[in-house]
Amino acid sequence: MTRTSRAVVLEEFGKPLQLRRYDVPTPQEMAALVRVEYAGVCGTDLHLQSGHLPIPVPVGLGHEAVGRVDTLGPGLTHDVLGNELAPGDWVSWLNNIACGRCRFCLVEQQPTLCTGSRRIYGINQSADQWPHLSGGWADYIYLQPGTVLVKLPEAATPQQVIALGCAGPTAVHGVLNEVRVRSGDTVVVQGSGPVGLAAAMYAQLSGAKKVIIVGGPATRLELAKRLGVGHVHIDVFQVADADERTEIVHGETDGAGADVVVECAGVPSAVAEAIDYARPDGAIAVIGQYTDHGPTPINPHLITRKNLNISGSWGFGARHYLGYIASLPQLVANFDIGQMVSEYALEEANSALADVKSGAVVKAVLRVGDE
Ligand SMILES: [Zn+2]
Ligand SMILES: [Zn+2]
């Protein structure tokens, strides 16, 4: 008897998501069928639903998920790190497969900048085309050959793995690969959403002596304090004046400015403020400007005058994703990240999306299986 799977599908931009049913495919060579247990809701999903990004519809959503191996296709016996795989194993996967042929894949080794046909689960794989189940908001997901598949470390629960979702590997890319926080650094993180909190966690794990979070609303900063994320918390709604915030940051850094500033706010003006926060010869990572909100005035003289090192960081690739998975035991030993999560049933995908939009929850997770 053919098994079927539910899948949450975006059929039309700006319209509520629909629950559809598809036949569960049998994996071809080197592919895998995974029973999804938890799937994250990300800010990107809001942009997808609103039609801000050029994607095919209908599309099965869900680009962050964890689950258990259901069936392995012929030839697929180990995960990307060489661990043996068997049905029932807890796994996760990089949500995209770069083309492997363009300049950025082959020469620059920057697959997040792939200019070829990058396939992204839950984003650009049409639900109308086989294998149909290419999103994580479903009972099953079909992982194509070439997917970076990884067995989960036992030290972290699947709920903890999904708690940060995309934010974890995004922060690994920005904080560990682009700016490299060093022991004893003073770090400012702008933004207190999942990316900001993850960035602050990695700064602390890297040995930063003081992490200052500039964010809001107050409920998010309270959560950060409960989790032990950040040493100083500046509420942008309470301290509404940017100059005043800069004064506080300079006061907290003995008048010198921060060694590293990580922008995760997504507000263009935050970049100008980051330039003010940084000390001479300091570093700034701009990782929050994921969607284009237009230009903003900055004073470029300060970049020269302070000899600043400013880097961008776009999404994440296999290296950052595996870095995130590898850091999980240390991450969960230091921060109770499960507290960030609010769970919803698969049928409640529309409410989960609405709650992410309103900011009512920090991290919405669809609990798909009954594990
Ligand atoms: Zn995402
Ligand atoms: Zn490419």
Half-sphere exposure of 303 (CA within 13 A, CB side): 10
pLDDT for position 52: 86
Domain span(s) for CATH 3.90.180.10 in the chain: 4-165+317-367
For ligand 2, the distance from its centroid to the CA atom of residue 88, given in whole angstroms, is 32
CATH number of 167-312, picked from 3.40.1390.10, 3.20.20.150, 3.90.180.10, 3.40.50.720: 3.40.50.720
Ligand nearest to the CA of 166: 1
Higher pLDDT, 78 or 180: 78
CATH number of 4-165+317-367, picked from 3.40.1160.10, 3.20.20.10, 3.90.180.10, 3.40.80.10: 3.90.180.10
Largest CA distance in the chain: 70
Ligand nearest to the CA of 99: 2
For ligand 2, the distance from its centroid to the CA atom of residue 17, given in whole angstroms, is 31
238-271 tens-digit pLDDT: 999 999 999 999 999 999 999 999 999 999 999 9
Domain span(s) for CATH 3.40.50.720 in the chain: 167-312
Per the listing, tokens 């300091």 go with 282
- The pLDDT mean for the chain works out to 96
For ligand 1, the distance from its centroid to the CA atom of residue 194, given in whole angstroms, is 10
pLDDT for position 89: 98
102-136 tens-digit pLDDT: 999 999 999 999 999 999 999 999 999 999 999 99
Q: Indicate if the pLDDT at residue 371 is higher than 60.
A: no
Closest CA to 237 of 213, 267, 216: 216
Q: Report, as an integer, the average pLDDT of 24-42.
A: 97
- Which of 57-61, 234-238, 275-279, 359-363 has the lowest average pLDDT? 359-363
For ligand 1, the distance from its centroid to the CA atom of residue 272, given in whole angstroms, is 25
For ligand 1, the distance from its centroid to the CA atom of residue 132, given in whole angstroms, is 20
Q: Report, as an integer, the average pLDDT of 229-239.
A: 98
For ligand 2, the distance from its centroid to the CA atom of residue 108, given in whole angstroms, is 10
For ligand 1, the distance from its centroid to the CA atom of residue 165, given in whole angstroms, is 7
Please, which residues have CB less than 5 A from ligand 2, an ion?
98-99, 102, 105, 114, 116
pLDDT for position 327: 96
For ligand 1, the distance from its centroid to the CA atom of residue 43, given in whole angstroms, is 6
For ligand 1, the distance from its centroid to the CA atom of residue 63, given in whole angstroms, is 6
Ligand nearest to the CA of 97: 2
Contacts from 265-268 at CB under 8 Å and sequence distance 24+? 265/190, 265/191, 265/196, 265/214, 265/215, 266/191, 266/193, 266/290, 266/291, 266/293, 267/293, 268/293, 268/294, 268/295, 268/296
For ligand 1, the distance from its centroid to the CA atom of residue 49, given in whole angstroms, is 13
- How does strand 65-72 pair with strand 18-23? unpaired
For ligand 2, the distance from its centroid to the CA atom of residue 275, given in whole angstroms, is 33
For ligand 2, the distance from its centroid to the CA atom of residue 25, given in whole angstroms, is 27
* pLDDT confidence bin for 6, thresholds 50/70/90: very high
137-189 tens-digit pLDDT: 999 999 999 999 999 999 999 999 999 999 999 999 999 999 989 999 999 99
41-68 tens-digit pLDDT: 998 999 999 998 889 999 999 999 999 9
Ligand nearest to the CA of 356: 1
